Structure 1
């Protein structure tokens, strides 16, 4: 049923505008100001104005409500507004919900946005803060008392298991880190602009949570990113070639938790990514060989390898060699490891640039780009394609 729903959506909406603030470590601005700046930039890029917008989608974790961002950006009446849960897992789902609204006629132009001061404000890597009692808190209660207090420590459990199961060394994670920083080095917007790294740099970076090192971990970033979604018919009259929503999906695995799913079977896999993969391939009729570039959510290097395997680009345990060989253009903006950590929204923007032909690391002849959202949590994914 889910595949049929996604298939009915495919080709009916497109991303037509992308806009971002500067990415930094101390913005000096409120998260609302960042959101409004990104929204205005995305609308200008789309050749649209605030008066054209009638829908908005963001993350439940975003501190700036849709109506407040609308006021700050000069947007008027809204006929659709929505939020998606599960942190970075929401990134592609914001576009999915926007496309659904457009395809169903609930809205004509929908803005998706995410803005935060993740470095100068609330730092996710600083550990779990005191929480009000909740079902999610109960799940974390099985891990926190044993010292698993940060996202890095949670992912380290899966990373250690992955290396053990496949008889590998941490160098396989280094291939992801090196690839991301190589692309970031050529991207003027990236934190690692002009600063490529080597496998030796990766191996020498300080330990964070064994087997993860500093260069296995994403940036902590202040900034905002926005996207504009409208119908494909309307998109064709706008300034840039549309990035068509070929397929979109959300997915949660059996026994899903939020980055602490250590009791649901094999720890060295990402079942939620498999749920998304089956829907995307099934509804689009495409296969891994049809994908010209991939923007995979990279808050930590091991989960990039596991995603490649879940999506069928290579056999289990083979993703490190796959990345090392450059078999698929991967995270051409530098990813969240090298460009900025914007909960995956900057990855969707990079997919749009690849289809427009304007990436800092442009790939020739791009027709289809796979984009994924946060892993280890309920997640989402997109296949964006060229028009025609």
Structure 2
């Protein structure tokens, strides 16, 4: 059996949703089911993030789902984004559920703001929190500085990632930064958050929700929308793995966990980097986009700066990245909006449609155990 994404749905993306996260989740799931031409009664499985505030049973009650045969959650924040789909695929393939909905809902701007300092219950925090590394940006800045040293890249290379994302978001009416492109000078002028990261190196804080519907390819072909076939899915953790603070590896300025994911994706799908039409990369911080390009095999280690030069990751470039604007330009819904964009690219309905019929790559949060997907129009 092969599984596919048959429906996608989302709320609007805002800075103050004015409603509960549970309501956001239900709205997105209803939209995804409508998109697939299914009803709540068809759903037999729910998957979300451990960080999501909406229990599966609460979501089921609000939707009117009578029975669930599969319920699970994935940890490590944004690293779960593609893994929730992998869990749904495994459930469908194993016959544990017929239709599984993956969802993520959060009021991350009007509620708990991830960009602020926090007290972590993780015992590993004792290695970095006393030194003042208490925000994601501060933690990533350490890795970013080492990457600059090792690769010869510059802060302008980080800025080029943001410029590309904002240029794509500017033509996406669903993006928060619709109509608001920037230049490299805007990036250079943005305030420091934690050197070498500026404000425009950091993703947004957003309110909103996204849901996707996973079912068998056979069933998906009979539904309302063209299926996005899950050609491969993978999870990965690297050696010496910490959560955002893997400072004790022999090579600090790299993302070996994404290499673990990449090798599985290419082997299982039969595709390689040269086959990918567009990549939807998790862009919570710009340095990690460059590192991902290298770990995924789009360029050798330390050479992503050459790939992104002269619009290489923009529409019409060698490898268009995040045609929807990504989390830097569209919204930060823990990577789930990136999966929805990949499905639109497969369907041919994206606002910034990338030509061709090749597969689309999606990645999840980096700096943590991570995950990835390869979606295709057919096998």
TM-score higher than 0.5: yes
Offset, 1:175: 1.1
Which residue in the other structure is 1:356 paired with? 347
**Partner residue in 2 for 1:98:** 88
Kept in 2: contact 1:90–1:380 (CA 8 A): yes
CA drift of 1:318 comes to 1.4
Structure 1 contact 293–366 (Cα < 8 Å) conserved: no
SS in 2 for 1:45: helix
Aligned to 2:113: 123
Structure 1 residue runs without a partner (length 5+): 1-10
Question: Does 1:384 find its partner at 2:369?
Answer: no
- 1:317 Cα deviation from its structure 2 partner: 1.8
Q: Deviations over 1:200-252 (max 9, x none)?
A: 11111111100100110001001000000000000101111100000000000
Q: Per-residue deviation at 1:169?
A: 1.4
Superposed displacement of residue 270, structure 1: 0.2
1 CA distance for matches of 2:146 and 2:208? 34
Q: TM-score, normalised by structure 1?
A: 0.95
The secondary structure found in structure 2 opposite 1:141 is helix
Name the SS of the counterpart of 1:279 in structure 2: helix
Q: Is the 8 A contact 2:7 2:214 kept in 1?
A: yes
- Residue 136 of structure 2, aligned match among 134, 138, 151: 151
Give how far 1:74 is off.
1.8
SS at 2:32 equivalent = helix
Looking at structure 2, the residues matched to 259 and 344 of structure 1 have their Cα atoms a distance apart, in angstroms, of 16
In the alignment, the residues of structure 2 paired with residue 76 and residue 307 of structure 1 have an alpha-carbon distance, to the nearest angstrom, of: 41
Write the distance in 2 (CA, Å) between the matches of 1:194 and 1:17: 28
Q: Do residues 368 (structure 1) and 359 (structure 2) align?
A: yes
Q: Does 1:279 align with 2:264?
A: yes
For the residue of structure 2 that corresponds to 1:215, the secondary structure is helix
Partner of 1:192: 177
Question: Which of 17, 21, 24 in structure 2 is aligned with 1:31?
Answer: 21
User: SS where residue 96 of structure 1 aligns?
Assistant: helix
Asked if the contact 2:104–2:336 (Cα under 8 Å) also holds between the matched residues in 1, the reply is yes
**Contact conserved, 2:13 with 2:331, CA < 8 A, in 1?**
yes
Q: Would you say 1:40 and 2:30 are equivalent positions?
A: yes
Partners of 1:83 and 1:284 in 2: CA distance? 25
Give the number of aligned pairs.
373
Q: Where does residue 248 of structure 1 map in the other structure? A: 233
- TM-score of the aligned structures, taking structure 2 as reference length: 0.97
Q: Specify which of 59, 65, 69 is matched with residue 69 of structure 1.
A: 59
Q: CA deviation at 1:145?
A: 1.0
Aligned pair partner of 1:141 in 116, 123, 126: 126
1:291 aligns with 2:282: no
In the alignment, the residues of structure 2 paired with residue 84 and residue 167 of structure 1 have an alpha-carbon distance, to the nearest angstrom, of 36
| SS of residue in 2 equivalent to 1:268 | coil
CA distance in 2, matches of 1:273, 1:15: 23
The residue number in structure 2 matching 1:111 is 101
Write the deviation string for residues 134-153 of structure 1: whole angstroms up to 9, x where unpaired. xxx22111111111110001
| Partner of residue 204, structure 2 | 219
Q: Structure 1: which 4+ aligned runs deviate by more than 6 Å?
A: none
Does the 8 A contact of 2:153 with 2:305 survive in 1?
Answer: no
Distance (Å, rounded) in 2 between the aligned partners of 1:241 and 1:340: 25
Match of 2:325 among 316, 327, 334: 334
- SS of 1:125's partner is coil
Distance 1:123 1:229 in 2: 30
User: C-alpha displacement at 1:265, in angstroms?
Assistant: 2.0
- Pairing partner for 2:3 from 13, 17, 25: 13
Coordinate RMSD, CA, aligned: 1.0
* Matched ranges for 1:255-266 at <5 A: 255-266=240-251
Contact between 1:172 and 1:321, CA under 8 Å: does it hold in 2? no
Give, in angstroms, the shift of residue 321 of structure 1.
Answer: 2.2
Identify the residue that residue 213 of structure 2 maps to in structure 1: 228
What SS does the aligned partner of 1:126 have?
A: coil
Counterpart-to-counterpart distance in 2, 1:144 and 1:347: 31
1:269 aligns with 2:270: no
Is the Cα–Cα contact under 8 Å of residues 175 and 320 in structure 1 kept in the other structure?
Answer: no
**Shift in Å, 1:15:** 0.3
